[in-house]
Amino acid sequence: MIVKNVFKWLIIFLITATFGFAQEVGEVAVVPDDSTKDPGLKPGDLAPSWALMYAPGKFEFLKNWTVERDKKLRKFMSQPDRYPMVLSFFATWCKPCMKELP
* Residues 34-59 pLDDT 10s: 666 667 777 666 666 778 887 888 88
Would 40 be classed as within a structural domain?
Answer: no
Would 41 be classed as within a structural domain?
Answer: no
How many distinct structural domains can be found in the chain? Answer: 1
60 and 73 Cβ atoms separated by less than 8 Å: no
pTM value is 0.28
43 and 53 Cβ atoms separated by less than 8 Å: no
Would 63 be classed as within a structural domain?
Answer: yes
Domain of 71, in residue numbers: 47-102
Would 25 be classed as within a structural domain?
Answer: no
Q: What is the pLDDT of residue 94?
A: 86
Please identify every stretch of the chain with a pLDDT value under 50, giving residue numbers as ranges. 69-73
Intra-chain end-to-end CA distance of the chain, in Å: 70
How distant is the alpha carbon of residue 45 from its chain centre? 22
Distance CA 40, CA 13 (A): 51
Would 73 be classed as within a structural domain?
Answer: yes
